[in-house]
A and B are shown apart, each in its own frame.
Chain A
Amino acid sequence: MTGTNPSAANDPLLKVTDLSKNFGGLRAVNRINLELFPGDLAGLIGPNGAGKTTAFNLITGVYYPTEGQINFKGQDIGGLAPHVINQMGIARTFQNIRLFPSLTVLENVCIAYHSHAGYSMQDAILRNNKFEVQEKELLEKAQDFLGIFNMQDRQGEIARNLPYGQQRRLEIARALAADPQLLLLDEPAAGMNPNESIALMDLIHFIRDRFKLTILLIEHQMRVVMGVCEKITVMDFGEVIAYGKPDEIQSDPRVIEAYLGRGAAELSEKLQRSKTQ
């Protein structure tokens, strides 16, 4: 499946095996397999209701898997609480932006640092030296972090009042603050205009290189997916129907069928045949 990947010799960072999730009688995700290697920038696409977000929710612990295994860095994380999974190194963003709306930009980032706060609650209540030093360090770390995203001037603004593109940027920054190895982006370009989408693509490339991340993203805007992802997994009706490089995916009849219907798939096959002849 990943024979062409140069890092195939390494162990996969994330390995999803036969993962399924039932909601009552509905099988939202059906025995999907997924492998991500360190440094991958992969996409997960599919028509609405294909089970992409459910797959994300299973990986991040929002849902308890019905069947199957999720291995992260060789450990089974299936069914762990979301905050534990986050602390192990998987961060995510949401389809509809979920910031802490009435807090400042800086506080939003600080919350992501919480599990790395170097003081106990007793230290905080007593306001001892350890608290003062560590809290200052935490705030400065968060400020420097905002600086990487060129948002340090906005640190005191209430998150709700930021423009849309900046809110996305803050959400991604916040997800990265806790220093994860794997970042899951759920439709980062949703609702963005073309300019904002281009800036987002730059941002995704930048953070992958800057933080040495592995990224998996769900996206509907094909321009973003094809422009950013090196590997694409396609889902339909809860199953993985295709996997490959962007150009392979674009011409895969099953993918075209899933998106445009059987007639379109046949038509495209005919077109391709006539091109090659």
Chain B
Amino acid sequence: MTKKFSKSTLWFLGASILAYAVLEILISTQILNTFWNTIIRIGGVMAIVSIGLNLIYGFNGQFSLGQWGFYAIGAYAAADVTYRWSINKSADGLVVLFLATTLSGIVILWLRKKLANIRGLDPLSAFTIYLAATIIMSALAWWVGIAVTPAVTGALNILPAPVAMQVVFVIAVLLSAILAAEISFLFGLPILSLGSDYFGIATLGFSIIVKILLDNSDTLLGFVEMKGARGMVGIPKETSLFWVFFFLVVSVVLVRNLLRSSYGRAIISVREDEIAAKAMGIDIAEYKILAFVLGSFLAGLAGGLYAHINGFLHPNTFNFIKSFDPMIIIVFGGLGSITGTVFAAFAWALILEGVLRLFLPQGFETWRFVVYPLLLLVTMLLRPKGIFGEYEIPFLRQILPPIRKPAETPENNSTVEAQS
């Protein structure tokens, strides 16, 4: 059965493919060198992580500074899997991560159904139950994973090496996104009942914890290949422009499809007025978790892609000061505007890392951190609601149906007189 696409959908998909094709041509003809290629890919990755944050803050109204922590988790998890595959020639990371995320995911979904029936369950008790279940499942995944690794490694080795690498890379990125989502679920349970400011502080704490853990990843966590504060090297550089574009388009479509549905309206109603949303039958706890988990999923996805751009990861990249970057991007582009977020993410990467670095005189490159805040300041003064405000391109807009008169049944004819 063929499905008819609307004009705006075709326009959006066409423009995306066209943009990708033009960039690909410019790169292959060396008009854009590796430097610009990297910046564009970084821009795409920032767009994905910022869309996630916009979902949490712009649409759901929860001020989160934890996005960067989930980005870090995604980056290191995916990097570890591909590192083990390319250097150690073993699929153990892939198998264990796959089993751990799937088993935990199934158990979490199952528990959610069971716990929903308990009246007045304390969030902390729920958190403890989920945490225990996840730990048990992860241990199980470890135990089973080690046993089945040789078989999976053998199976993947049947494929030609580059193809196998790509397969491992894509699965690793997706799994690390799921991992970030599951961790955000566990972490969000106890803290999402906090008010907005307190929630911000708690999530900032989360980002700092992740950064400290990564500083000590080789000793504390036992991942020797992550090399702690010295930085992880030797990650295969698999993130091509194609994958960035592909995942960016998928993220935009995913978020748009969710937001422009009844579930999206429920998410937005939580931002608008929590008390009214509750009184309208919206389970606000559920929609806060949903937005938070989905936003973190996108952060993990972006992290996984980021890790494979430079082939190098350092805990300082995930410093909490940098966690304000996506926050700046969404405020700059417009809270609650996906169009603005994507635009601002690319503008951020191009201006901060590209234009300013190139055009400032030699020796003055660090002045870009002075020029860039000034630019932000001026923009926010001129356009306090962000560059795009709440504007969306037609594809991303909520389309209101044309005005209808009420059906002409005798029962429906009794409308109240309009008052002025």
Q: Is A153 a contact of B403 with CB atoms below 8 Å?
A: yes
Which of B227-235, B274-282, B348-356 binds A? B274-282
Q: Is B273 a contact of A114 with CB atoms below 8 Å?
A: no
User: Which residues of the partner chain B approach A166 to less than 8 Å between Cβ atoms?
Assistant: 419
Residue ID in chain B nearest A184 by CB atoms: B279
Check A155 for interface membership: any CB of B closer than 8 A. yes
User: Which residues of the partner chain B approach A91 to less than 8 Å between Cβ atoms?
Assistant: 279-280
Complex-state Cα separation, A107 to B162, whole angstroms: 49
User: Which residues of the partner chain B approach A124 to less than 8 Å between Cβ atoms?
Assistant: 257-258, 261-264
User: Which residues of the partner chain B approach A206 to less than 8 Å between Cβ atoms?
Assistant: 414, 416
Q: Which of A92, A138, A152, A203 contacts B262 (CB 8 A)?
A: A138
Residue ID in chain B nearest A120 by CB atoms: B263
Check B284 for interface membership: any CB of A closer than 8 A. yes
Cβ of A227 to closest chain B Cβ, rounded Å:
16
Check B392 for interface membership: any CB of A closer than 8 A. no
User: Which residues of the partner chain B approach A92 to less than 8 Å between Cβ atoms?
Assistant: 279
Check B60 for interface membership: any CB of A closer than 8 A. no
Known contacts: A86-B280, A124-B258, A125-B254. The answer to whether A150 contacts B418 by CB under 8 A is: yes
Check B269 for interface membership: any CB of A closer than 8 A. yes
User: Which residues of the partner chain A approach B119 to less than 8 Å between Cβ atoms?
Assistant: 79-80
Cβ of A120 to closest chain B Cβ, rounded Å:
9
Check B197 for interface membership: any CB of A closer than 8 A. no
Complex-state Cα separation, A129 to B1, whole angstroms: 11
Complex-state Cα separation, A104 to B403, whole angstroms: 13
- 147-188 of chain A: CB within 8 A of chain B: 147-150, 152-153, 155-156, 165-166, 169, 174-175, 178
Q: Is A111 a contact of B406 with CB atoms below 8 Å?
A: no
Residue ID in chain A nearest B286 by CB atoms: A83
Q: Which of A86, A119, A148 contacts B279 (CB 8 A)?
A: A86
Complex-state Cα separation, A165 to B268, whole angstroms: 25
User: Which residues of the partner chain B approach A18 to less than 8 Å between Cβ atoms?
Assistant: none
Check B272 for interface membership: any CB of A closer than 8 A. yes
Check A144 for interface membership: any CB of B closer than 8 A. yes
User: Which residues of the partner chain B approach A107 to less than 8 Å between Cβ atoms?
Assistant: 265, 268, 398
Q: Is A94 a contact of B400 with CB atoms below 8 Å?
A: no
User: Which residues of the partner chain B approach A131 to less than 8 Å between Cβ atoms?
Assistant: 261
Known contacts: A103-B272, A165-B419. The answer to whether A144 contacts B281 by CB under 8 A is: no
Check A115 for interface membership: any CB of B closer than 8 A. yes
Complex-state Cα separation, A103 to B280, whole angstroms: 15
Q: Which of B263, B281, B403 contacts A178 (CB 8 A)?
A: B281
Cβ of B106 to closest chain A Cβ, rounded Å:
16
Q: Which of B273, B416, B418 contacts A101 (CB 8 A)?
A: B273
Q: Is A114 a contact of B279 with CB atoms below 8 Å?
A: no
Complex-state Cα separation, A174 to B284, whole angstroms: 18
Q: Is A174 a contact of B280 with CB atoms below 8 Å?
A: yes
Q: Is B281 a contact of A87 with CB atoms below 8 Å?
A: yes
Cβ of A175 to closest chain B Cβ, rounded Å:
8
Q: Is A114 a contact of B254 with CB atoms below 8 Å?
A: no
- 181-213 of chain A: CB within 8 A of chain B: 195-196, 199, 202-203, 206, 210
Check B415 for interface membership: any CB of A closer than 8 A. yes
A118-146: CB near B (< 8 Å → 1, else 0) gives 01010011110101000110111001100
Check B113 for interface membership: any CB of A closer than 8 A. no
Check B401 for interface membership: any CB of A closer than 8 A. yes
Cβ of A224 to closest chain B Cβ, rounded Å:
15
User: Which residues of the partner chain A approach B401 to less than 8 Å between Cβ atoms?
Assistant: 136, 139-140, 143
Complex-state Cα separation, A156 to B257, whole angstroms: 20
Known contacts: A94-B275, A121-B258, A124-B258. The answer to whether A110 contacts B265 by CB under 8 A is: yes
> What interface size band does chain B fall in?
35 or more
Check B344 for interface membership: any CB of A closer than 8 A. no
Q: Is A111 a contact of B263 with CB atoms below 8 Å?
A: no
Cβ of B207 to closest chain A Cβ, rounded Å:
28
> What interface size band does chain A fall in?
35 or more
Residue ID in chain A nearest B3 by CB atoms: A129
Q: Is B418 a contact of A111 with CB atoms below 8 Å?
A: no
User: Which residues of the partner chain B approach A241 to less than 8 Å between Cβ atoms?
Assistant: none
Check B283 for interface membership: any CB of A closer than 8 A. yes
User: Which residues of the partner chain B approach A102 to less than 8 Å between Cβ atoms?
Assistant: 272, 390
Check B412 for interface membership: any CB of A closer than 8 A. yes
Check A39 for interface membership: any CB of B closer than 8 A. no
B233-276: CB near A (< 8 Å → 1, else 0) gives 00000000000000000000010011001111110110011011
Residue ID in chain B nearest A117 by CB atoms: B262
Q: Is B416 a contact of A203 with CB atoms below 8 Å?
A: yes
Residue ID in chain B nearest A154 by CB atoms: B403
User: Which residues of the partner chain B approach A103 to less than 8 Å between Cβ atoms?
Assistant: 265, 268-269, 272
Complex-state Cα separation, A62 to B274, whole angstroms: 12
Complex-state Cα separation, A77 to B199, whole angstroms: 30
Residue ID in chain B nearest A64 by CB atoms: B120
Cβ of A116 to closest chain B Cβ, rounded Å:
9
User: Which residues of the partner chain A approach B7 to less than 8 Å between Cβ atoms?
Assistant: none
Known contacts: A103-B272, A104-B400, A203-B416. The answer to whether A111 contacts B278 by CB under 8 A is: no
User: Which residues of the partner chain B approach A129 to less than 8 Å between Cβ atoms?
Assistant: 3
Q: Is B407 a contact of A144 with CB atoms below 8 Å?
A: yes
User: Which residues of the partner chain A approach B284 to less than 8 Å between Cβ atoms?
Assistant: 83
Q: Which of A101, A135, A149 contacts B415 (CB 8 A)?
A: A149
Residue ID in chain B nearest A152 by CB atoms: B403
Cβ of A18 to closest chain B Cβ, rounded Å:
20
Cβ of A178 to closest chain B Cβ, rounded Å:
6
Residue ID in chain B nearest A135 by CB atoms: B261
Q: Is A114 a contact of B265 with CB atoms below 8 Å?
A: yes
Check B114 for interface membership: any CB of A closer than 8 A. no
Q: Is B417 a contact of A150 with CB atoms below 8 Å?
A: yes
Check A55 for interface membership: any CB of B closer than 8 A. no
Check A12 for interface membership: any CB of B closer than 8 A. no
Check A273 for interface membership: any CB of B closer than 8 A. no
Cβ of A75 to closest chain B Cβ, rounded Å:
12
User: Which residues of the partner chain A approach B278 to less than 8 Å between Cβ atoms?
Assistant: 62, 81-83, 86
Q: Is A114 a contact of B282 with CB atoms below 8 Å?
A: yes
Q: Which of B258, B276, B390, B418 contacts A125 (CB 8 A)?
A: B258
Complex-state Cα separation, A52 to B276, whole angstroms: 18
Ranked 3 nearest A-B pairs via Cβ: A147-B406, A124-B261, A100-B272
9 contacts between A and B (CB under 8 A): A64-B120, A100-B272, A101-B272, A103-B268, A104-B400, A125-B254, A147-B404, A148-B412, A169-B419
